[in-house]
Structure 1
């Protein structure tokens, strides 16, 4: 099995077998034995081969084909949506057709590890986390913080909304996260003019230490949440205005809304 994977990897990399021999210190006959499967390399040799071919050692432990599951599909879909990408964006960037991504996110079929590594590069998310357990995924997602550097694909993400749309309530009915354009410096230096913010309306109260946009009475403020036993304190991030205390036992004041900040990034030129 290792020999077949090694042969396919060498072919995919466009490397000559003699180059592998020179880099790793193998004789041509020994490499030939590895490729045919008549012998298998020891761990030290396999590690040297993996480093030269720029793959992780576990490439040789995983099967080329990975069985898809509903959990994997949902995980890929969730990360894709958090990145503000469509299935067409992934299709255009990877060369796989839309039908493949539709089946992938439903948990159908199988895929090669190379495929998931390609997708993970676009999503800026680890391949192992994409195909890992729910527990691993939850821990990885919790480590994602706002202000993470985001490389956009496509070059111009769909942005139909501005900060004033959030303040006025025009985005209140949106059920999914969305991009909004910052056209002024009201939140500088935390969020600057010409940056994009990927936000999502929060149902209920924000979580401890979460960064949010708080809309109330036609105004919009950048706040940091501090959670206490029976209340939530929203402290201004841009040093404008007074803190706001919210009682957990009461509903938020009518017309008041919180939007969680997923990502902040520079708007493409």
Structure 2
């Protein structure tokens, strides 16, 4: 599944590049407003922080929410106490777009994450041109050389990389980059199976000074509490927010 998602995202990026060459996107990235400091926004605090996600669909669950106005949802998230907004821009399975990212960025004052299957520099420049402050890199989808090159580009553009892992080996690769923001995804993106305890197994290996993000398998406040007790500084939540009253649910999660 992960290989298919990455290949599909790459194909779509190449199609966009035919219409909007890299030089044009690079220029737009250079002209964009400076990125916000995501490491500061997501730094450890007395209570858990939440990255709230704009998510219409997923490969495992299909359609989740229509979300005709992603910006309005993002504003609600910000008012509800989210520390950052994640915007899924993958179009095939998640029904997102770069336009969603642009609209969200123009509507909130907190960091915005481009969540997609990034594998080439063009996608990184797209993220910055659209106003992203954070870009997702999935360790399992990339060889170490490519991972390091994309991480360096993200950093050079002033953004923060959220480096996503799913095993001890992947975590070691993320740490080798010097990543300051590391995610542990409970969902295996090859099989889409969930392991809510994976974060707790890997968190002790993440050194002090690195922000620890728990991803997936959040349905209730008890799930957030579970991650918090295991050492999560931040929890990324999508499905539980878009399939309920997002403000009410966000408040319950932040109260943990």
Q: TM-score, normalised by structure 1?
A: 0.22
Pick the structure with more helix per residue: 2
Q: TM-score, normalised by structure 2?
A: 0.23
